[in-house]
Amino acid sequence: MVRRRRAVDLPGHFRVVLFWPDDLGLVKAGPELRRRFLNQMLVQVERGYARSLAGLRRVLEQRNSLLKRMAAGEGGEDMLDAWNQELVKVGGEIVDARARAVLELAPEAARCHAEIASGERLEIRYEGPPENLAEAVHNSLAEDLRRGSTSVGPHRDDVRVLLDGQEARSYGSQGQQRTAVVSLKLAEAALIERRTGERAVLLLDDVLSELDGERRAALLREVGGGGQVIITSVEAGPFPPELIAKAMVWNVEAGRIQACG
């Protein structure tokens, strides 16, 4: 008999780290993309994290529905405490996992960035809910009733990305921002290997665009140290001959794929 798997059980069976141009939103966009980055990484390395996320979605859906009923005078106050407790429980699990992950990511991301960017200093900092989540949830009730939604919890978390002490979204050039994101991705791959003992496959789509020659060369050295790496580029020029010599190279043109060399 074939055992059916639920979607929540699948993450973690295939280790992969992807960079593609839209990932620049990790620096440029709002906190939702940075939370998603942490979530996608943690489901690969932390048992039960996917279930905690599913639990949070359920709690927020039920609590927000209850808040709207209460604001409309339809009752439901007797159920609020139970949902508050569940929010604190599942929210605490997610916050703890994210905080540990960022502490582990930060030094490796800083090292990668300094190697690629000749000494530029990258910092990442986790900004979670208040330390006493239960008290914060209780104190936010008036605001939550006014808004009809839950204003405190891990769904409001953020990760700050700093370059030389300044916010990367406003301080960094396109090349600096791209380097910061790539460094985060390389740190993610290192974390996955430490936590699982398995090397993730690196999928790097158009990763060299907007990088100067020095950063391109440093990045290729950084990713060329082992493991499986798949890189796409619109030009072959950035790749040194020694890297080409040990790689499988394919050319895609007019819908056709052809092996090179």
Task: Compute the average pLDDT of residues 52-73.
Answer: 94
Euclidean distance between CA atoms 160 and 27, whole angstroms: 9
Helix, coil or strand: residue 97: helix
Q: 74-112 pLDDT, tens per residue?
A: 877 788 999 999 999 999 999 999 999 999 999 999 999
Instruction: Report whether pLDDT(166) > 80.
Output: yes
CATH 1.20.1440.130 fits 7-260, yes or no: no
Average pLDDT, the chain: 87
Contact 128, 154 (CB under 8 A): yes
Separation of alpha carbons 98 and 118, rounded Å: 29
3-class secondary-structure state, position 141: helix
Using CA atoms, how far residue 58 sits from 65, 76, 83, 130, in Å, is 11, 17, 10, 21
Name the helix (H) or strand (E) containing 249.
Answer: strand 249-253
Tokens, residue 137: 């949830």
Other C-beta atoms closer than 10 Å to the C-beta of 170 total: 9
Give the C-alpha separation, 55 to 86, whole Å: 9
Strand 166-167 to 158-163 pairing: antiparallel
10 Å Cβ neighbour count for 30? Answer: 10
Q: What's the whole-model pTM score?
A: 0.86
